[in-house]
Amino acid sequence: METQQNDNRSTQYKKDSLTLSGAVSMGTGVMIGAGILALTGQIAELAGSLFPLAFFAAAIVTAFSAYSYVKMANAYPSAGGIGMFLQKAYGRGTVTAGGALLMYFSMVINESLVARTFGTYTMQLFDTEPIGWAVTALGVGVLIFAFLINVSGNRLIGGFSLLMAFLKIGGIVVFAIGGLWIADISFEGVMPQSSSDTPITGFLAAMALAILAFKGFTTITNSGSEIVDPHKNDGRAIIISI
């Protein structure tokens, strides 16, 4: 009986268990959640009138990074993600271990940021000041919910990611249309006027956060070997999601 249970667990994540659309939705959902919903305000505060340029510059940097990920994912599709890529590039050693740990810590920080933002946003629905313990409890709750989704298998992950991606994109479209309607379909107030009020350090910090917003595509590489036709679809999923 114990052997059978272990076999069931070992086959829970299997090859061809995640479709291309599911992988794209997973990457897109992370980018929208971490980037657009959680980081946009901070990026705008740091970049000031250069806010659009910060995102554009971050997109250029991300494109070079994504190219490397696409090539590595196509050649070595693996659930190991960046850890596997580092091992292929540097072998087993301190550099690989250190790089993998840095990536791991960045994911923990990113997920904590999104969870904290979720708690803060949720508290605003009740027209009250955010309470520390309540924000923390909501953040921990959403992390537990995400954990339960992730241990439920790729089929559920793909379907849930697709649903959430549509909801997020739809919400952003509705919000954008409403904003443009209120602004009388004018971009005059949001276009960069002068860069003199934005220090270079602020712009670079905003650009770094914008890069973090784009880096949600790295989630796809952590399911590389489980995507249908991984040698082709890993790279396609990364490109489409960006």
Ramachandran quadrant class, 130 (left: phi over 0; alpha: psi -120 to 50; beta: rest): beta
d(CA 231, CA 78): 10
d(CA 110, CA 82): 16
Residue partners of 28: CB distance under 8 A and separation at least 6: 165, 168, 169, 216, 241
Q: Which letter does DSSP use for residue 127 in this model? A: T
**What are the pLDDT tens digits along the chain (242 aa)?**
444 444 444 445 567 667 888 788 878 877 777 667 677 777 888 888 888 888 889 889 988 888 888 888 888 777 777 788 888 888 888 888 888 888 888 778 777 877 887 888 788 777 777 677 888 888 888 888 888 877 776 677 777 777 877 787 887 788 878 877 887 766 555 555 555 566 788 888 888 888 877 877 877 877 767 788 888 888 888 888 88
d(CA 25, CA 216): 11
CA-based angle 152:153:154, to the nearest 5? 140
d(CA 49, CA 112): 28
d(CA 228, CA 154): 11
| Cα–Cα distance list, 141 to 26, 39, 110, 195, 196 (Å) | 20, 21, 16, 41, 43
